[in-house]
Structures are given as C-alpha cells and as structure tokens.
Amino acid sequence: MKSVSQIRKRTALIFLIPVTLVLLSSALYPLISTLYLSLTDAELENFLNPNYVGFINYIENYEGMWYGVLADSLFWNSVRNTLVFSIFSVSLEVILGISFALIMLIENKLKWFVRAAVLIPWAIPTIVSARMFEWMLQDQFGIFNYMLIGMGILEQGKAWTTDPQTSMIVIIIIDAWKTSPFVAILVYAGLKALPNEVLEAGKVDGTNGITQFYYIIFPLILPAIAVAIVFRGLDALRVFDLIYLINAGSKDIMSMTVYARREMFEYSHFGFGAAASTMLTLIIGVIAVIFIQRTRLHKLDEME
Amino acid sequence: MKNRSKEDEVADININTVNKYFGDVHVIKDVSLDIKSQSFTVLVGPSGCGKSTMLRMIAGLEDINSGTISIDGQVVNDLPPKQRNIAMVFQSYALYPHMTVFDNMAFGLKLEKRSKDEINERVNEAARILQIEDYLQRKPKQLSGGQRQRVAIGRAITRKPKVFLFDEPLSNLDAALRVQMRVELAKLHNELEATMIYVTHDQTEAMTLADDIVVLDTGIVSQKGSPLELYDKPNNMFVGGFIGSPKMNFISSKILSKSSDATEVDIMGMSKISVPKMSASSSEGDSVSLGIRPEHLVVNGDSDGSWESKVFVVEKLGDVTYLYLEKEGEPLVAETEGHSEIKVGDTVKVGFPSGRCQLFDSSGQAFK
C-alpha cells in the first residue's frame, strides 16, 4: 500500500515534467550552448564546426598584450553604462511609481481617468515611445528645443539623443516615463492591501500625512517595492531595445547587450560575443543574488 | 506639554443632537448622550444600529454632519483624533505589523516627542499591568490573539488618554479568553479610573462591564440606563428583547380592563392576569404585547396567571433547562431547574407572576 503522501508526491512529479522540459529546452539549452560557443573560435565561416580554444575569448596574453572580453575597455565601458542606466532609471521609476500609486489612491470622480492616464505609457511599444521622444527632442524641428529656444534658454537646437553627454540622460528619462506605471501598479496593489484599521490606529496615535507615510505606510509596502525593484532591476540590466533604438552606433552609451550583439552579428565574432553574453549573465546573476540576499526578499513570507 | 494629574486624565463626553449620513443613508439620527467622567459606558445594539459609527465619530475617524461632540467641555467636531486625547482599541487589534510590541506601545509617545526615559517607563508600566513584559521584543505575528489584544490595550494605556474607546475588542477571541479578558477589562477600568466607551453586540459583555448601557436601534438611542434598569424596566419591546438571554417572550394579548394602578390582560384565552403597569394612552380592547423572561416563568407551580402547552424541545444546560413550548408564531421559552424530569411531548403549566410581566403597546412602548 502506498500512503497518501507518497501518491501526492508522485502526482506532483508528473505535473512538474512538462514545465521542466520547457525550461530545459528554452533556458538551459541556450545557456549551455552559449557557454560552449564562448569557448570556441566560432565565426560565420566555421559556425557549424568551430574549434575549442579554451578561455581566450575571455582573456588571453598574446605577445605581452592582453586580449579578450575582460581586457576590452569597451566592454567595461558598456558594463558601466548598464549599471549607470539601471541605478538611475530604477531609482527614478521607484520614486515616480510610488508617487503615481499614491495619486491613484485618491478617491474622486477623476480616479478612472487618472488610473488610465498613469497606465498608458506602459502600454505603448518601446519603438513607438523611442521614436516619439526622438522627434520631440530633435535638434531642428523638435518641440523641446523649440520651447527652450522660445524661453531663451538655448541659442540653437541641441541634438539631445546623439550628444554623448545627454543621450544617457534622455534614455533614462524615456525608460522612467515608460516603466514607472509598472512600479505604480505593484505599489498600488500593496497600498490597497494595507489594513485600514492600522492606518486609523496611527491617526489615533497622532500621525499626520508625512509621519503616517514614513512610519506606517512605507515599511508596510516595502515588500511590494522590493519586488518592483527586482523586476525592474533585472529588466534594466538586460536593457537593449531603448538604447539600440535611440543611439545604436554610439560607443558612449552602449550597454552590455548592445556590445554582445555588435560582436556577434555585426562582426560575426560568435565566440567572442558568446563570451560577452556569458559575462553579462554572470554579472546580472551576481547582482540579483546580492540584492535578494540584502533585501531578504526570499524570506518575504516571514516579514509581514 | 503640561503634566497631568490623575483628576484631569478623565473627562465627560457630551453628545448633542448628532446626525450622520453615509450618502443617502441616515445612520445616526439626532442622538444626544451624556457620558459621565470615569464611567464605563457600553454602546450595544444589533449590527447596523450605528454603534461603531458613534464610537468612530467620538474618536474623530468619522465626520459629523450636524450636532456637536464635546470632550471635557471642548467641542471636538473639527479636531483630528490626536487632539482629542483619546485612545482606541480596534476589533482587529490593528497593531503595526512591522514594529515590535514595545514599539507598538511606544509609537504614540514617540510622535509626541517624549523623552526615552519617559517612554520606557510608561511602556514598562503598561506591560506590567497587562502582563506582557516577556513579549516586548516580539513582533505581533508571533503572538496569540489574546496577547495581541493585550498589546492593543497596552498601546492605549501608555498614552494616558482622557477617554478609552473600545470597538468590539473581544469579538475575535475564543469564548474562554473572552470571559477572561472581560474580567481584566473590568479590573483595568477600576485601576485606571478612566472614562471608557465600549461598543459590542454581545449583551453579556454589556451587562457585565457597564455602568451605563446605551441601547442603539437603527441610529437612535432606544434606552440608556444601568444594566439592571434595562433588564427590569425596558422602555420598549426592542430593549426588552435585546437585553437578556434567552430573549424575553412576547405574547399577543388584549386589555380586558383598566384600574388606577394595574392593567388586566388575557393570556392566550386561557387565563387573565392583572399586571401592575399603566399607560394613560391605552384603553380597553387595545392590542398589547405581554413580555416575560424565560427565567421568570413558573413551571408547574402556582402563580398569578397560567397557561398550558406541550413541550416540543428540551435544552439541558446542566444548571438550568429551557423548555420550548408551542405558541402561535414564536415558541415560548421557559426556564426550569437543571435536573428537570420534563420530556418532549409532556404538557406543562407555566405560571406568570404579575410583578415580572411587562406590557408594551402596539407601537412597542412600555407601560410604566
């Protein structure tokens, strides 16, 4: 006789098979083949029959000079760009997202309009929002320059998206505009779930708007904010579309993904590109683990 | 902030023709109440009667549409809760889940920017009174329901408010704990000598705790008085039926005759009884309701009036037995001794002692 718990365990295993297969084929296989590719000299000509070359795509000392992804200052530049983009865009999105969520909470006749308005940027495809901002920021005919010139702040139009000094800022602002709604929705759900009597107890204890937010609301929605940061952070570290769309060719704002893509598909250095991709995965993984450890996100159940 | 002495930690509360609407719904209708300093007043009534709304208006969590509420002589209509010198204990305890027990109890004092020493002293004092000293560093989640309720009460105590407000504080506890906490609340009231207003739908809590009970019915004060006043002399059928368990029996009847100090009515056509109650507005032939509590009916004994019926349910509770008798409409419940030999199907004679009977006219008002 099998016990009920044994039967349950077996049923659970059966149910786990499909998803395991999907994960293995869609995640593990590409991961391993990329890892393998990064250890070969694969280029377009020998793509199906590459030679194993060890770690020279990562780092190699050849006649006193260092070569490989890890020795490429452009790669480290792209790492720095990605980190700068991630830190600033996620911070901005969290601040804006919390603000939007608090605004969405206000009960009045306009609340449906406000909620819809907050969500619209999130619904617009990146290519559309990127082009939209590009046109608005265009140096000759863009409305932004037109307004700045009208106000006498600028003498003549500035090419905001191609200027290396401003293009990163522009990209961060577009990303914040686009994805703050995502943070807002998560935080809004967290705010909606706040127990009303706890807030009332706070009022009786003497909180005003600011102390209520600081001492009660913020600590209680912190788990929701942490979840939002993890999601947005991982997204931002993998950023590709926005940077590629705004300024594909610029080395100054190139992200890790743009760097890997360029090596692989523009220069056909598949082995080298795969090494860059592997490094990208490694860096994101390390950051994610550190963040989740530090925020104790994996212990969310015990927090409450 | 000035140092408060024991005397001014307590306050009268005057509620003057207060009205409250939720949208089109008129939930509090011209309510006036005087709550004495240091008294324990219980607001009681069925759900939806407006008792919690009353309490929340006193707390300042709910606006008042008209009328005034004053605490200690000061009109507080437009003051936020923190300026009303009140503390409130919520049904769900409403502890701050992210703070330790200590921080929960200290929070109000921290907002008042009290010194560390004073906060420590007051929290430890409250913890000692409530016997929760061992849990001060725990989070609410690690506590049982009863312990959480103590912390909620402790949070109220540390602030030394003039008025304590309780919103059904025991209704989330199990029966045994509820009885225990009830006793402790009564003790606490004696110790603190504070004004306490307590909302409940449980009439046992109302009877045991209150100096004064205020019975609310659909937004009006049905009656206010001491527990025994309400038990002995209900103003109307609602209060008669609400106070007491099992509830008062009501029997449809007619006035047979009136004298200067009594009214004679019939008991389901079987006998007559002369009840020493009067109503100037009544006359012979009027329909009235005769009210009598199960514990006052005399089973198989002599009394002023009597009625016979078959028993269709017997409830043995050990100390007493309740007999459910057949009557048109609702059953008539009679209480008898715990070890009664009466069985289902037996015919019993119930006697009505005239001094225990209440009469209510067709609008539900009591004869005096």
Quickly list DSSP for B56-119. Answer: HHHHTSS--SEEEEEETTEE-TTS-GGGGTEEEE-TT----TTS-HHHHHHHHHHHTT--HHHH
Q: Give the C-alpha separation, B131 to B126, whole Å.
A: 8
* Domain annotation covers residue B366: no
By the 8 A CB rule, do B191 and B179 touch?
A: no
| B83 and B37 part of one domain | yes
Q: Using an 8 Å Cβ cutoff, are B344 and B311 in contact?
A: yes
Instruction: Give yes or no: residues B237 and B260 share one domain.
Output: no
Whether B229 and B338 share a structural domain: no
Selected for mutation to probe chain A from B88, B113, B158, B168 (highest A CB count within 10 Å) is B88
Same domain, B253 and B209: no
Alpha-carbon gap, residue A175 to A130, rounded angstroms: 9
B87 vs chain A: nearest CA distance in angstroms?
6
| 368 residues of chain B, pLDDT tens digit each | 334 444 444 568 999 999 999 989 999 999 999 999 899 999 999 888 999 999 999 999 999 999 999 998 889 999 999 899 899 999 999 999 999 999 999 999 999 999 999 999 999 999 998 889 999 999 999 999 889 999 999 999 998 898 999 999 998 888 888 888 899 899 989 888 889 999 998 888 999 999 999 999 999 999 999 999 999 999 999 999 999 888 999 998 899 998 888 899 988 878 888 899 988 888 888 899 999 999 999 999 888 888 888 999 999 999 999 999 987 777 899 999 988 889 999 999 999 999 999 999 999 999 98
pTM confidence score: 0.81
Residue at which a domain ends, from B206, B241, B276: B241
Question: How far apart are the C-alpha atoms of B46 and B56, rounded to whole Å?
Answer: 17
- Are the C-beta atoms of residues B52 and B39 closer than 8 Å to each other? no
- Assess if residue B367 is contained within a domain: no
In angstroms, the separation between the Cα of residue A200 and the nearest Cα of chain B is: 7
Where does chain A show beta strands of DSSP type E?
Answer: 60-62, 65-67
How many residues in total does chain A contain?
304
The tally of CA atoms less than 13 A away on the side-chain side of residue A198 is: 20
What is the Cβ-side half-sphere exposure of residue B282, based on CA atoms within 13 angstroms? Answer: 30
Number of domains in chain B: 2
Do B223 and B261 lie in one domain? The reply is no
Distance from CA of B210 to the nearest CA of A (A): 24
CATH number for the domain harbouring residue B170 = 3.40.50.300
CATH number of residue B306's parent domain: 2.40.50.140
Residues B253 and B184 reside in one and the same domain: no
Judge whether B62 lies within some domain. yes
Q: In CATH terms, is domain A36-303 a member of 1.10.1840.10?
A: no
Other beta carbons within 10 angstroms of residue B45's beta carbon come to 27
List the domain range (segments joined by +) for residue B69: 7-241
| End position of a domain, from candidates B190, B220, B241 | B241
- Tabulate helix, strand, coil % of chain A (nearest 5): 75, 5, 25
Long-range own/partner contacts, residues B30-36 (CB < 8 A, 24 or more apart): B30/B67, B30/B220, B31/B67, B31/B216, B31/B219, B31/B220, B31/B221, B32/B67, B32/B221, B33/B214, B33/B221, B33/B224, B35/B195, B35/B197, B35/B212, B36/B12, B36/B195, B36/B211, B36/B212
Q: What is the number of H-type helices and E-type strands within chain B?
A: 8, 20
Residues of B in contact with A221 (CB under 8 A): none
Q: Looking at the structure, tell me whether residues B276 and B179 fall in a common domain.
A: no
Q: Which residues of B touch A205 (CB under 8 A)?
A: 82, 107-108, 111, 155, 159
Beta bridge partners of B86: B163
The answer to whether residues B192 and B158 belong to one domain is: yes
Whether B254 and B236 share a structural domain:
no
Domain end point (choices B187, B213, B241): B241
Contact B103, B96 (CB under 8 A): yes
Pairing of strands B263-267, B332-337: unpaired
Asked if the C-beta of A198 comes within 8 angstroms of chain B's C-beta atoms, the answer is yes
